[in-house]
Amino acid sequence: MNYINSSYFAPIFLDYLRNIKEVENCGYWQLPFIPYTFSKYQSSPLKVFYIGRDTYYWCEYDAMYDDNEQIVPELYLHNNADYVSVGNIEKDWNKSGSFWGMVGKLHLQLLTGVYHQSINELTENDWNLLEGIGYGNLFSIELLDTLKKKKYISKEDGKKRSEYDDIKDFTGYNSLRAFAEPFENLKTIFSAYGEPDIVFILSWAEKDDFFEGLDYEFQKDWYENNMRSVYTSNNHKTKVIWSMHPNRFRYKKMNPQKMCQYLCDTAYSLLENK
């Protein structure tokens, strides 16, 4: 079973539920993504978090989550942490440009030195290592660009719509995003799970407040445009490697195996210099 630090996140999530009462009819019904770890993260030989941009579908609002303040947080946090598991890696392994396919290959190459093109090559030990992943997102509430991609046929008039079209109150939607900000930064991950060795951010998106409250600095000598940014701290061991979404690799016709090696080499060099 995946793990989430309920004692840390429960009061923050309760605050979120209280805050959204004023904007609950804005037309957006998804609850926030909250970072968590797979089942064997704490025993992993190398602790690594993988950060995406935002989700594409997540847990939707249900009244049961705020009926009883003593029970509700754990119920939602459990559902949130079970939404994506190693099963998603298995399902997406062969999908070109997929986030989870890339994460699985990158994680195993980082820990074992071996790139697995075929999922059939994975050993029992490999599957156990995949259970050691930490998962976060830069944005806990889906961005408008994501909502525009979520198409469906309206039952009312039979016309194609997107979830972007469902937003009735953009000020309210922006308030939801603001209320979810406590789930979106590196300091939150540190507080909930301790300091990982490496954080890979696989989205070339701007998020300056990801480092809010911490002393992380951009390392210009490591920078390669649209490929890699590196951030380190004088007071925290975690090295942050910021790169592109795997779908961008595919669009640019970059070899995924070479990209895994590139990111692994970056991580190895940073860990040697800690």
Q: What is the DSSP letter of 60?
A: B
Q: Which residues contact 7 (CB under 8 A, 6 or more apart)?
A: none
Residue at 1 is within a domain = no
Backbone dihedral angles phi then psi of residue 218, each to the nearest 5 degrees: -70, 130
Residue at 251 is within a domain = yes
H helix intervals, the chain: 6-19, 72-82, 86-92, 99-112, 124-130, 144-149, 170-179, 186-193, 246-251, 256-272
Instruction: Measure the CA–CA gap between 238 and 49, rounded to whole angstroms.
Output: 10
226-229 long-range contacts (CB < 8 A, ≥24 apart) are 227/262, 228/262, 228/263, 228/266
In 3D space, the residue among 101, 79, 99 whose CA is nearest the CA of residue 33 turns out to be 79
Instruction: Measure the CA–CA gap between 178 and 141, rounded to whole angstroms.
Output: 9
Angle between helices 6-19 and 170-179 (to 10 degrees): 160
- Say what the pLDDT of residue 74 is: 86
CA distance readout (Å), 125 to 26, 108, 122, 129, 181: 47, 10, 8, 6, 36
Helix (H) or strand (E) holding 51: strand 48-52
- Say what the pLDDT of residue 250 is: 67
Residue at 195 is within a domain = yes
pLDDT tens track, the chain, 274 positions: 999 999 999 999 999 998 998 898 999 999 999 999 999 999 999 999 999 999 999 998 887 777 655 557 888 999 999 999 999 999 999 998 899 999 999 999 999 999 999 999 999 999 999 999 999 999 999 999 999 999 999 888 888 999 999 999 999 999 999 999 999 999 999 999 999 999 999 999 989 899 999 999 999 999 998 889 999 999 999 999 999 988 877 666 678 899 999 999 999 999 997 6
**Domain region containing 163:** 6-272
Residue at 100 is within a domain = yes
Tokens of 30: 């998804």
Residue at 60 is within a domain = yes
266 with 219: CB under 8 angstroms?
Answer: no
Beta strands in 204-246 (DSSP E): 217-218, 229-232, 239-243
- Say what the pLDDT of residue 251 is: 64
101 with 147: CB under 8 angstroms?
Answer: no
Q: What is the DSSP letter of 70?
A: T
Q: What is the tally of structural domains in the chain?
A: 1
Instruction: Measure the CA–CA gap between 2 and 83, rounded to whole angstroms.
Output: 9
- Say what the pLDDT of residue 54 is: 97
